[in-house]
Amino acid sequence: MDVDSFQQEIKYCSRCGSKIEQIEIDSAGHMHHICLRCDAVFYDNPKIIVNTLIECNNKILLCKRAVKPKIGFWTLPGGYMESNETTDGAAIRETKEETGVDVKNLQLYALFNCPAINQVYFIFRGHVHNENTCTSEETSEVKYFSECDIPWENLSYGLMRQVLDWYFQDKTEGKYRFRTDDTYEICPD
Ligand SMILES: [Zn+2]
């Protein structure tokens, strides 16, 4: 998909409420919105998404999406980082919200740059503090899967397949290496 179509159009100034009438494109082609009334400049920066890869009793924690897009597909717990959070703090919060599971001691495992859709993914490995699960508004099912039961054909995105694939390779070798890739796949909003 065209890069420009992912750049968000900002219609009103969040500082003074005026209509944004000026858009500036810099030399690299990035769009900035400028408020002519209060001089505020708005940048369309990438969104940060965090996910956790949590193993408990030799099984991996996955949740089934209850919201668009990809309703009914399985995914690693995760979501958008909020303002004033750390990346691992956001991953702990999202995992708790979506699965009910408390996780701790997160370590960065993989980083995906998705410039085409203006997103960056941080995937953390971590330990379970309390393994009890529950569903949420965003998840219709939460379950721990052994490697042989992973629903490979029903995973939400190729990115999830890739990270699980790396994880099981590393597990076999007994050494978890930091992984990174630049993927252009279309991911959820
Ligand atoms: Zn303004």
Q: What is the mean pLDDT of each run of 10 residues along the chain (189 residues)?
A: 50 92 84 90 91 96 95 97 97 97 97 91 94 93 97 94 96 96 64
Measured in angstroms, how far is the CA atom of residue 27 from the centroid of ligand 1? 24
Measured in angstroms, how far is the CA atom of residue 48 from the centroid of ligand 1? 26
Measured in angstroms, how far is the CA atom of residue 21 from the centroid of ligand 1? 10
Measured in angstroms, how far is the CA atom of residue 26 from the centroid of ligand 1? 20
130: alpha, beta or left? (left if phi > 0; alpha if psi -120 to 50) = beta
Question: What are the φ/ψ torsions at residue 170 (nearest 5 degrees)?
Answer: -65, -40
Question: What are the tokens at 140?
Answer: 């219709």
Q: How far is CA 112 from CA 43, 130, 148, in A?
A: 21, 28, 25
Class of domain 47-182: alpha beta
CA separation for the pair 102, 8 (Å, rounded):
34
1 contacts 186 by C-beta, under 8 angstroms: yes
CA separation for the pair 89, 86 (Å, rounded):
5
Measured in angstroms, how far is the CA atom of residue 116 from the centroid of ligand 1? 29
Q: Write down the pLDDT at residue 185.
A: 62
CA separation for the pair 29, 65 (Å, rounded):
35
Sequence ranges of the domains in the chain: 8-43, 47-182
Q: Write down the pLDDT at residue 7.
A: 54
pTM of the model: 0.85
Q: Write down the pLDDT at residue 117.
A: 86
Measured in angstroms, how far is the CA atom of residue 86 from the centroid of ligand 1? 29
- DSSP run (H or E) holding 13: none
